[in-house]
Amino acid sequence: MNSKKIIKPVLIIISVIIGLSIVLFVGYMVLIAAAFGDFDKNYNTKDLIENFNNNKQQIYLAKQYFNSIVPKYKKVSIEFDGKKISRFEIDPIDTGRGSDLTTNFLDWNLSPHKTDSVIATIGWTKETIDKLQQKLKDADCISIENGEPAQIGFKRNGMGMYFFVVFDKPIPDTLKARYNDSCTYVYANKYLVLEYGGGAVGNQCFFNKSINR
């Protein structure tokens, strides 16, 4: 049999398989992005600053409450999608004593049963979650991570996220360059940095970084 007659159909089949694989992968990533929100929506620095100024008191109250309920030597990050917890992470904080710094817990879209078992490990109850969720809702935000500064999630853009990095005291001069790079961070004022964390698809840097003061 002519080898060329064999090779041609094989190449066609391989091309079809590769094409289908690419289509399925792109479709899968788009579905994931869609699951995290309006992936066509871009917010600029003006949008974020306006939201922060409108909800400043509620944002600081959410930060204060969250820092008060997270156990010592723990870093906790939680995100809500409506009434459900869409992301929950618990990590130990390095105390310099050689402790195990592997992630204690990380999961997405927690069921009520799993939520109850996980929050019990850090001394929380359903009432704790309900109160935190309400404080974030009042602040028009969807996520929070404890610490100083605290990182508070404003809105998702596909798999990316817009954040407020909120300081209680003025940002030290030594950190200003770090918090005003050409992509992830925009220095807003001495107490506030805007952050954009890109996901696996879509924008990887801040959309419209200029600030009108």
What CA–CA distance (Å, rounded) separates 31 from 16? 22
Dump pLDDT digits (tens) for 92-138.
988 776 666 677 899 999 999 999 999 999 999 999 999 999 999 99
* Domain match, 126 and 90 both: yes
* Residue 74 or residue 204, greater confidence: 74
Q: Which domain holds residue 185?
A: 40-197
Lowest mean pLDDT among 30-44, 78-92, 146-160: 30-44
Q: What's the mean pLDDT in 143-169? A: 95
Co-location of 85 and 164 in the same domain? yes
Verify that 52 and 104 share a domain, yes or no. yes
User: What is residue 201's predicted lDDT score, i.e. its pLDDT?
Assistant: 58
Long-range contacts of 71-78 (CB under 8 A, 24+ apart): 71/122, 71/123, 74/104, 74/122, 74/146, 75/145, 75/146, 75/147, 76/122, 76/145, 76/146, 77/143, 77/144, 77/145, 77/151, 78/132, 78/143, 78/144, 78/145
**3 falls within a domain:** yes
CB–CB of 148/68 below 8 Å? no
Residue 169 confidence (pLDDT) above 60: yes
198 band by pLDDT with thresholds 50, 70 and 90: confident
Give the pLDDT mean for 172-191. Answer: 92
> How far is the C-alpha of 72 from the C-alpha of 66, rounded, in Å?
12
Lowest mean pLDDT among 9-13, 19-23, 87-91, 131-135: 19-23
Q: Quote the distance between the C-alpha of residue 76 and its chain's center.
A: 12
Q: Is there a contact between 188 and 166 (Cβ–Cβ < 8 Å)?
A: no
Give the pLDDT score at 99: 60
Judge if 30 and 133 occupy the same domain: no
Give the Cα separation of 44 and 212 in Å (integer): 11
Token pair for residue 87? 């992301």
- 110 domain-assigned: yes
Of 85 and 182, more confident: 85
pLDDT digits 0-9 by tens, 39-67: 457 788 899 999 999 999 999 999 999 99
CB neighbourhood size of 162 (10 A): 26
The answer to whether position 18 is within a domain reads yes
Query: What pLDDT does 197 receive?
Result: 86
Length of the chain: 213
Number of domains composing the chain: 2
Residues 6 and 22 in one domain: yes
pLDDT band of 205, cuts 50, 70, 90: confident
